[in-house]
Structure 1
Amino acid sequence: MSSSQRLSRAYKNAKKVMFDDHSKFILFSDCHRGDNSFADEFANNRNIYFHALNYYYNEGFDYCELGDGDELWENMNFESIFEAHKNIYQLLRKFHLEKRLHMIWGNHDMVYKDKAYVEKNLSSYFEPIDNTDKELFEDITYTEAIILKHAHTQQEIFLTHGHQADWWNYTFWRLGRFLVRVLWKPLQVWGIADPTSPAKNYKELIKMERRIKKWILKNNLLITIVGHTHRPRFPEPGDIPLFNDGSCVHPRSITGIEIENGQISLIKWHIDTTTDGTLKVVRVLLEGPEKLSDYKPKP
């Protein structure tokens, strides 16, 4: 199956979420939440991420995670990740209880395509203090893709991880997971990158983006937002509408995409220093906002 066919299948089977100009979404991907070991790239940014997530919860945003939220290639199970970042999952649970949580699986958490696995591992957790099982993400569903559909204009925004355009990480993800666990995780501690990852291999990144752009052109310039490459993208109106929200494992910062008031923006959260030496987490607008309606499909 070609990358175009995989993307088309994901679009056909996507979960549909209606929205309008009053809706608010924050899109993050590639958190790669790990076990807080030396190989956990998310650990350096966890306080930034938690602060940003808390902001979006209080401001009434829906949270969309575009895959690779949990690092289940390097780590054998979800339990160790949950224990390392328990406060984050408890905050995500609050989104879930209010039906404001929309989760997509990527290649590093592709096991979440199995509903039985999700139910067994994510529905509840054991709390040693109370010696009881407590609910976590009961009845949660992970999907390969989401379509945000505007209630009035019928404009669609296609959200997916993007690894459909990366044949190795989609078709051979189990082999990739094996290699990461036995080879690249130990080497990562010493700063040696996995050459099969498009986030670490520029040539693979360009190839993947080219395949998705080709698919967008075939599908009437559908707005498409992905992750996977870790490289933020924000095209101008009139360009091929391929967006990328970046990742949450940039050095000292996280990036994401906001959709609010019928507009789209690329943002960054990072730690800044005030003149009196105080450290604080701040939000920075990188690109936009641009009106979604300006990204018009071909007539």
Structure 2
Amino acid sequence: MSSNSRISRAFKNAKKIGFNADSKFVFFSDSHRGNNGFADDFARNRNMFKYALEYYYKNNFTYIELGDGDELWENRNFTRIFKANKHIYLWLKKFHDNNRLHLIWGNHDMKYKNPKTVRKNLYHFYDTVSDTTKELLVGANFSESIVLEDEKTGKGIFLLHGHQADWFNYIFWRLSSFLVKVLWKPLQILGFSDPTSPAQNFKERIKVERRLEKWIVANNNQMMITGHTHRPRFPDKNEIPLFNDGSCVHPRSITGIEIENHKITLIKWHIITNNSGIIQIKRTILEGPENLNNYMK
């Protein structure tokens, strides 16, 4: 099956969510939440990510994770991931309990295609303080893709991880997972990069983006938001409407996309030091806001 066919199938079977001018969404992807070990790229941004989640929860945003939230390639034991990121999952629970959480699986958490894995990992957790099992994301489910449908115009925004355009990491994801566990994870600690990953291979990244663009053009310039490549992308209103929220494992920041007041914005959260030498976490606008009507053809 070609990348075009995989993307088309995901679009056809996408979960539908309606929205209007009052709706607020934030999109993050590629957190790669790990076990706080040497190869855990998320560890350095963990508190920054938690702070961002608090902000979006308190400001009534709906959180949509565009894949690769949990790093299930490098880590066989989810319990260790949970222990390292318990405060993150408890904030995700707040979104879930308020029906403001939607999850998409990517290549690194493709195991969540299986509802049994979702139930095993995410429905409950063992609380060592009270020595009891407690509810976490009971009833949560993962989708391959989502379409946000404008309740007024019927036009949509297509959301998916983006590895559908990456044949090796989609078709051979089990092999990729094996190679990461036994080869690239140890080498990553020594400073080597995984050449099969579009996030670390410029040529592969360009190929993935071009395949996605080709599908968009062939489908009436259907607006799309993805992750996977880790490269933030915010096109001009006259360009192909392919957006990318970047990742949460940049060396000194996390990037994401917001939709509010029917406008779309590319943002980053990063650490700054003010004039008094106090370290702060700051939200900065990178691109936008731009009216969605400029992209939803």
Query: What TM-score range do you get, normalising by the shorter chain?
Result: over 0.9
Q: Distance in 2 between matches of 1:130 and 1:275?
A: 43
Residue matched to 2:70: 70
- CA–CA distance in structure 2, aligned partners of residues 249 and 136 of structure 1: 24
Are 2:52 and 1:21 equivalent residues in the alignment?
A: no
Q: Is structure 2 residue 252 aligned with structure 1 residue 252?
A: yes
- Percent identity reads 61
Q: Secondary structure at the match of 2:18?
A: strand
Aligned to 2:204: 204
Task: Give 1:273's aligned residue.
Answer: 273
Provide Cα deviations, 1:254-291, integer angstroms capped at 9, x if missing partner.
Answer: 00000000000000000001001000000000000000
- What is the CA-CA distance between 1:296 and the residue it aligns to? 4.1
Whole-Å Cα distance in 2 between the matches of residues 68 and 79 of structure 1? 17
Q: Distance in 2 between matches of 1:269 and 1:172?
A: 33
Q: Is the 8 A contact 2:158 2:224 kept in 1?
A: yes
What SS does the aligned partner of 1:214 have? Answer: helix
- TM-score, normalising length: structure 1: 0.98
Q: Structure 1: which amino acid aligns with 2:141?
A: T
Distance in 2 separating the partners of 1:183 and 1:142 = 28
Instruction: Kindly report which structure 2 residues correspond to 1:119-138, keeping only aligned pairs within 5 A, or say none.
Output: 119-138=119-138
- Classify the secondary structure of the residue corresponding to 2:229: coil
Gaps of 5+ in 1: none
Q: 1:42 deviation in Å?
A: 0.2
1:92-116 alpha-carbon deviations (Å, 9 max, x no partner):
0000000000000000000000011
TM-score, normalising length from structure 2? 0.99
How does 1:149-168 map onto structure 2 within 5 Å?
149-168=149-168
Letter aligned with residue 34 of structure 2 = G
Q: Does 1:60 align with 2:51?
A: no
Aligned equivalent of 1:293 = 293
Structure 2 residue aligned with 1:232? 232
Aligned length: 297
The aligned counterpart of 2:118 is 118
Task: Tell me by how many angstroms 1:295 deviates.
Answer: 1.4
Amino acid at match of 2:65: E
Instruction: State the one-letter code of the partner of 2:214.
Output: K
Q: Quote the Cα distance in structure 1 between the aligned partners of 2:296 and 2:31.
A: 31
Q: 2:75 aligns to what SS in structure 1?
A: coil
- One-letter code of the match for 1:20? N
What per-residue deviation string (whole Å, max 9, x for no partner) do you get for residues 153-200 of structure 1? 112000000000000000000000000000111111111010000000
What SS is found at the alignment partner of 1:76?
coil
For residues 121 and 160 of structure 2, what CA distance do their matches in structure 1 show? Answer: 23
Structure 2's unaligned 5+ residue stretches are none
Q: Which residue of 2 aligns with 1:105?
A: 105
Partner of residue 93, structure 1: 93
Superposition RMSD in Å: 0.6
- Partner-residue secondary structure (3-state), 2:42: helix
Give the 3-state SS of the residue equivalent to 1:80 in structure 2: helix
Greater mean alpha carbon deviation, residues 257-266 or residues 119-128: 119-128
1:173 counterpart letter in structure 2: W
Quick one: distance in 2 between partners of 1:115 and 1:273? 44
CA distance in 2, matches of 1:66, 1:165: 15
- Show structure 1 runs of 4+ deviating over 6 A: none
Name the residue aligned to 1:219: 219
Tell me how far apart the structure 2 counterparts of residues 186 and 246 of structure 1 sit (CA, whole Å): 25
CA distance in structure 2 between the partners assigned to 1:79 and 1:137 by the alignment = 15
Amino acid at match of 2:158: F
User: 1:21-60 counterparts in 2 under 5 A?
Assistant: 21-60=21-60
Q: Distance in 1 between matches of 2:229 and 2:111?
A: 20
Give SS of 2:71's match: coil
- CA deviation digits over 1:184-228, x for unaligned, max 9? 111111110100000000000000100000000111101100000
